[in-house]
Structure 1
Amino acid sequence: MKIVHGLCLVAIASIAACGGSDVVAAPRLASLNVVTSAHNGEQLEPAFDPNVRNYTLRVQSDIYGVLLQPTANDAVKQTSVTAAITAGAYSTTVANTDVAAPEAVPLAETLGNTGYMVKLSQSYAAFDVEHVQTATIKVTGDAGAEAANYTVRIVRDNDSAVRAKFGAGKTFTSTAGTSINYHIYYPPNYATSSKAYPVVLALHGVGQRAAGGQPSDMVLKRTKQATIWAQDSESNPAKEAIVIAPQANTAWVNAADPAGALSPDGQAAYELLQSVLGTEKVDRGRVYLSGLSLGGNGALVMAESHPETFAALFINAPWAGSPNAGGGEGYNWAGLKQHLNGRIRVVAAEDDPDVRHPAYLNLIGLLDANGINYQTKLYPSKTFFSPTAHFVWIAGYADQAARNWVFSLKR
């Protein structure tokens, strides 16, 4: 009898076993997919199993939302998700302003991706910790069946250690009297080394401008456009580099931009780079320029203004001329062809709502028309969902092969 009873316990999930025909089948998940805007192979830990209820998902520091796509094991079963997702109840400049009230996460179609969008805080304080957001997935089924709860503990990386290596914010003043803030990273053992190091100049987007009220360290916190190169430098001696992260007051390029002219902020950033090249232990044949959005436009204009300076140009969500009205015909395309032919990488999203697809077509059309070879990565519509497809740089900078390509180039 004990053996039979034990077998009944093992097989209780089977309706036919040991008189189990009266047992209501418990609801389960049949699958649980997770998607982030990094598209960098993030996976649940452990791998999904319908009988395992608790999971961890680790994501990089510039992820602001995770799409959960649970599927119940029966069409009549229902799924719902709860998380502390209060939107807008935080500040990117003031610490401790999050409101962590549990809320239902609506099932919706977000840029063609159906699922539950669990938001992660973008508050100033949240970037200084290993930010954790827990989502509970509830599966309900037939009346009388106990609901099944699955939890996904989303853990966002804390980059504070690598950010600290950039040191305190500094100020640089150009020959014209324009002052900009900046942070600078030096690789391990720099002070005692006799090596000559590559240099990366990283230009941020519109959201990190000083004029927008952002402290200079948000240039390092909210995106990985500067810290990703420092992380490579810390982990791989072959990728050691000096990384400069300046902060624009307003913009890198003159607003009118008829022929591609740097603004006073952009000129100050270029003079800051020249100061580093003149005073530090640098390899002048390996100076790399990168930027996103506003910084993508700024990097393009800096490169065509001073093409002889750079070994590679890596730009994300950029434009030439005006962000959505074309232009750029007056740029120094001949200089780009002479010095950066085959050394340019353009990353864009087809459904970018801010720098729309015609702007991408205009830029690569100008490169083609001027006989300039380049790499491009155009992500198709509905690839990104959080915050929008304009944040294509999350995947752009997460692409290790792209970063390896940059560092393979020398003048």
Structure 2
Amino acid sequence: MNFRLARTLALVALIGASSAFAADPEPGKQVEQTLKSEKVDGGTLDYLLFVPNPSKGNQKPPLMLFLHGAGERGNGNLPLVKKHGPPKNVESNPDFPFVVISPQCPTGKWWTDENLQTMLLELIDKIETEQQTDSSRVYLTGLSMGGFGSWKLAAAHPERFAAVVPICGGGDPADAKSLAKLPIWVFHGAKDTAVPLKRSEEMVEAVKEAGGNIEFTVYPEAGHDSWTETYNNPKLYDWLLKYQTK
């Protein structure tokens, strides 16, 4: 074998190994990855991926999509996403029982942008295939800007999610009918001056009027940070796991 051929084969092997690693991160660890969209022209989306340690019986794990707030937007700065919520918590909890996808919204964009919503669904499909997650147990949650994004994505595609947890966000009450069959647990701080409590109240009322299954927790003394107590509460995850799509 000549030197040029040997070098080419070595390079191919290295690329193959890198691709395998990207699709198969070490259990109990959180890694940085990038989606190159096939549905949005030129679209890319950086994200953190956490894969839990294998469960007893090797059951397919549930999948959680977490959408951060406006302060964690960035371009190639994924450590920012670990500031709050599930991507922060899994750093010290390798047994967290969900595969967690935590994408980073690009600077100047919003989770409610149509192209980003398209890529979020594409990302779910990708991880479901690569990690062999349970497609009947896909959960959506987000805080602040991510709460708004969660409301919109859930309303547009309620069939994709087993349950949704929007925190200190808001949405369009006109979407209530499409949300009515989806288990939803809403959280907000009564003293929130960044996103007024009214934004969650109007969504909860609209979904209830549409006959929806919705729970609402208001922290009387909390300001905008209603997410720390929420994501630190084991009862939240027990509640999520009660639900699956048919």
Partner of residue 49 from structure 2, selected from 168, 184, 188: 184
- Report the equivalent of 2:218: 378
- Report the equivalent of 1:199: 63
In the TM superposition, residue 407 of structure 1 has moved relative to its aligned partner by: 1.9
- Report the equivalent of 2:36: 172
Partner of residue 231 from structure 2, selected from 374, 388, 397: 397
Q: Secondary structure at the match of 2:226?
A: helix
Partner of residue 362 from structure 1, selected from 188, 202, 219: 202
Per-residue CA deviations over 1:202-258 (Å, capped at 9, x if unaligned) read 0111011116xx7112101x11233436756x34xxx5221111111111114xxxx
Distance 1:355 1:282 in 2: 34
- Report the equivalent of 1:247: 104
Runs of 4+ in 1 over 6 A off after TM superposition: none
In the TM superposition, residue 176 of structure 1 has moved relative to its aligned partner by: 1.4
- Report the equivalent of 1:94: none
In the TM superposition, residue 194 of structure 1 has moved relative to its aligned partner by: 4.7
- Report the equivalent of 2:136: 285
Q: Is the 8 A contact 1:195 1:281 kept in 2?
A: no
Is the alpha carbon distance of 1:313 and 1:218 closer, same or farther for their aligned partners in structure 2, counting shifts above 3 Å?
same
In the TM superposition, residue 351 of structure 1 has moved relative to its aligned partner by: 1.2
Per-residue CA deviations over 1:155-197 (Å, capped at 9, x if unaligned) read xxxxxxx9x811134343241122111111111248xx85311
- Report the equivalent of 1:144: none
Aligned residue pairs total: 216
In the TM superposition, residue 349 of structure 1 has moved relative to its aligned partner by: 0.8
Greater helix fraction, Structure 1 or Structure 2: 2
Is the alpha carbon distance of 1:231 and 1:344 closer, same or farther for their aligned partners in structure 2, counting shifts above 3 Å?
farther
- Report the equivalent of 2:74: 210
Distance 1:396 1:293 in 2: 13
Q: RMSD of the TM alignment (CA)? A: 2.4
Q: Secondary structure at the match of 2:147?
A: helix
Distance 2:70 2:112 in 1: 12
Q: Is the 8 A contact 1:181 1:246 kept in 2?
A: yes
Unpaired runs of at least 5, structure 1 = 1-161, 255-262, 321-327
Per-residue CA deviations over 1:263-306 (Å, capped at 9, x if unaligned) read 21222112111121233311111111110010011011111111
Distance 1:306 1:229 in 2: 27
Per-residue CA deviations over 1:291-333 (Å, capped at 9, x if unaligned) read 001001101111111111111101110101xxxxxxx1432x3
- Report the equivalent of 1:16: none
Distance 1:206 1:307 in 2: 24
The one-letter amino acid of 2:227's match is W
In the TM superposition, residue 398 of structure 1 has moved relative to its aligned partner by: 1.4
- Report the equivalent of 2:179: 336
Distance 1:195 1:379 in 2: 35
In the TM superposition, residue 376 of structure 1 has moved relative to its aligned partner by: 1.1
Greater strand fraction, Structure 1 or Structure 2: 1
The one-letter amino acid of 2:219's match is Y
Distance 2:53 2:197 in 1: 41
Greater relative CO (CA pairs within 8 A, separation 6+): 2
Q: Secondary structure at the match of 2:142?
A: strand
- Report the equivalent of 1:54: none
Q: Is the 8 A contact 1:289 1:312 kept in 2?
A: yes
- Report the equivalent of 2:149: 298
Q: Is the 8 A contact 1:172 1:268 kept in 2?
A: no
Distance 2:196 2:212 in 1: 22
The one-letter amino acid of 2:189's match is A
Distance 1:355 1:407 in 2: 28
- Report the equivalent of 1:31: none
Distance 1:345 1:173 in 2: 31
TM-score normalized by the length of structure 2: 0.79
Distance 1:296 1:231 in 2: 24
1:349 partnered with 2:189: yes
1:219 partnered with 2:81: yes
Is the alpha carbon distance of 1:407 and 1:228 closer, same or farther for their aligned partners in structure 2, counting shifts above 3 Å?
farther
